[in-house]
Structure 1
Amino acid sequence: MGKIHQSFSIWSNVRGEGVTLEHVLAAAAEIGYAAVDSLGGPPVEELVPLAAKHGLKVATFGGHATLTDGLNRPENHERIAGELRASIAKAADLGIPGVITFSGNRNGLDDYTGLLNCAEGLKQVAEYAEEKGVNLNMELLNSKVDHKDYQCDRTLWGVVLCELVKSPRVKLLYDIYHMQIDEGDVIRTIERHHAHFGHYHTAGVPGRHDLDDDQELNYPAIMRAIVATGYDLYVAHEFLPKGDAIEALRQAYLRCDV
């Protein structure tokens, strides 16, 4: 077992005829996985004991609704702050290191105003996250292919957001798949900005499939770059398997086991 603590996303990997969550959790544990991302599965409070049966942790879960209608709108702040406080408390109680936050789509909003709005929204809950020891990971998503108009679609935008909030608990979910599509330069980005990264996601580019030789990212090199930063949380696979889900998870684990 290498130095990367690997996780996987439920929504993308528990799929196909006859594939059950219980089966995938058991297989993932046998492969060597450390955790599962609670995205698309049962409520997190139900997933934690189910995962624990197989020696797995829960790495993260969505902290608020919704991906498209998020923190870049001041009218959402009261609602999202309440949802995030509840999620932070739940994460702390369940031993989950971070929850995911979303900027929302632009819908005509310029990036500077959206940035300031997101910062103000996160400031409302940052102190509580610090008290509870839970990271708020703003997810970076591509707006070129998968999430048209999503505002937090560049690493530097997210880094400036973290710097505006000035909380050690406000970080980024650096999704390698998404950022390869929108900006590339993955390893240099990790080297420069890793202090702001609280969680990682993977998938093959193009297509969001297996981490195999048919896609363009050199995942062993990327994992070595992550290890070199001293990162000690989770890297989660969020790809859509082209074939057998368990075999795809096994191959992804081996490729990233550096």
Structure 2
Amino acid sequence: MMRSGFDRRRFLAAVAFGATYAVSRGVSARGRLRQGLTPHLFNQDIDDTCRMAQALGIQGLDFVSNPADWPTLKKYGLAMTVLRVDYGGGISTLARAPAGPAGWNAIGTPDLDGQFEAALRERIDAAAIHGIPNILVTCGVRGNLSYDEGKRNAIGFLQRVRAHAEARGVTLVMENINSGHSGGPPAPPGSMFDHLPWGLDVVVQVNSPRVKLLVDLYHAQLMDGNITNFLRQNIQWIGHFHTGGVPGRHEIDETQELNYRHVANVLADLDYRGFISHEWTPSAGQDKLAMLRKSIAIIDV
């Protein structure tokens, strides 16, 4: 639900005040890591979302999938960090796209009519023209497929499109999703790419500088743990990160089991140059703006 005009003005004023206070305290999201966020955190129109992100020192937004919104990001000096290929073309930044036909953005399953591959190729061209560095791909659910069958499907799909991505300088980032754990937003049961080693094997076999992992740290902690060892060993295969507190996918502070300040320091020490984007929802009763400022400061190493 959109905020009323009064609430909108109050929230914008609070963001502006909070950003000024943060800068005065030396907290500006301009540390060694580049930070982004997903627009649902604000639940506002695109202009207000960009204004708020800029005021907080955020440098980019994920999943602004409608090309009509891209000039607004540029107006505020924000990067469009990850493009999602939504079924039906340009989709509202606050809406989930329709699921699409079988195989749509589910590269571990057969793309029976090739619609997603064709749409992805078109979006690779658009991303190159507009300076968008990454495009999201996901692997779908296993259903009757085994992990090995899904891996063959994913590798085959990425092998078909890798040359196009390489030629256009756009990176395909493949995201891990947990298999139905409770305690947060519903996840699909039987997610194909639910364990990091599975996805790592896919991108290593494809072996392209333009095919990498999008490591969602919330999903990874639920399914695998051992996060920083994985990062130290495999950072060259990772192109983007999402954050979220475990277990409820809330703010990433000390109430959560994953030490995000430590994770951020590890990434900075590894000279990670991509984005780490906030993709969580504040706990019930928490002030959204205060939680955003605190979480940004945690990553601002």
**Do they fold alike, i.e. is TM over 0.5?**
yes
How far apart in 1 are the matches of 2:129 and 2:270? 28
Change (3 A) 1:22 1:244: farther
The one of 85, 94, 98 equivalent to 1:63 is: 85
Helix, strand or coil at the partner of 1:100: strand
How far apart in 1 are the matches of 2:287 and 2:133? 30
Q: Percent identity?
A: 30
How far apart in 1 are the matches of 2:65 and 2:155? 30
Q: Could you tell which deviates more after superposition, 130-139 or 53-62?
A: 53-62
Alignment of 1:13-162 (within 5 A): 13-15=41-43, 19-38=44-63, 41=64, 43=66, 45-63=67-85, 69=103, 70-76=106-112, 78-145=114-181, 146-162=187-203
Alignment of 1:198-213 (within 5 A): 198-213=239-254
Gaps in structure 2 of 5+ consecutive residues: 1-29, 88-98, 182-186
Q: What letter is aligned with 2:174?
A: M
Q: Could you tell which deviates more after superposition, 106-115 or 76-85?
A: 76-85
Helix, strand or coil at the partner of 1:74: coil
Q: Which runs of 4+ in 1 moved over 6 A?
A: none
TM-score (norm 1): 0.91
Assess if the C-alpha contact under 8 Å between 2:250 and 2:280 holds in 1: yes
1:246: how far off?
2.8
Assess if the C-alpha contact under 8 Å between 2:218 and 2:242 holds in 1: yes
Assess if the C-alpha contact under 8 Å between 2:46 and 2:69 holds in 1: no
How far apart in 1 are the matches of 2:177 and 2:77? 30
1:237: how far off?
0.4
Q: What letter is aligned with 2:251?
A: D
1:72: how far off?
1.8
How far apart in 1 are the matches of 2:282 and 2:81? 21
1:77: how far off?
6.9
Change (3 A) 1:77 1:120: farther
Change (3 A) 1:154 1:184: same
TM-score (norm 2): 0.79
The one of 207, 228, 231 equivalent to 1:166 is: 207
Count how many residue pairs are aligned between Structure 1 and Structure 2: 251
How far apart in 1 are the matches of 2:173 and 2:236? 12
Helix, strand or coil at the partner of 1:173: strand
Change (3 A) 1:189 1:239: same
Does 2:52 correspond to 1:9? no
Does 2:231 correspond to 1:195? no
1:30: how far off?
1.4
Assess if the C-alpha contact under 8 Å between 1:27 and 1:246 holds in 2: no
Q: What letter is aligned with 2:298?
A: R
Q: What letter is aligned with 1:152?
A: F
The one of 238, 244, 247 equivalent to 2:290 is: 247
1:64: how far off?
5.7
Assess if the C-alpha contact under 8 Å between 2:46 and 2:72 holds in 1: no
Gaps in structure 1 of 5+ consecutive residues: none
Q: What letter is aligned with 1:89?
A: D
Q: What letter is aligned with 1:97?
A: P
Assess if the C-alpha contact under 8 Å between 1:203 and 1:239 holds in 2: yes
1:42: how far off?
5.7
In terms of Rg, which structure is larger? Answer: 2
1:53: how far off?
2.0
Change (3 A) 1:232 1:76: farther
What's the C-alpha RMSD, in Å, of the aligned pairs? 1.8
Change (3 A) 1:21 1:212: farther
Relative contact order: is structure 1 or structure 2 higher (C-alpha 8 Å, sep ≥ 6)? 1
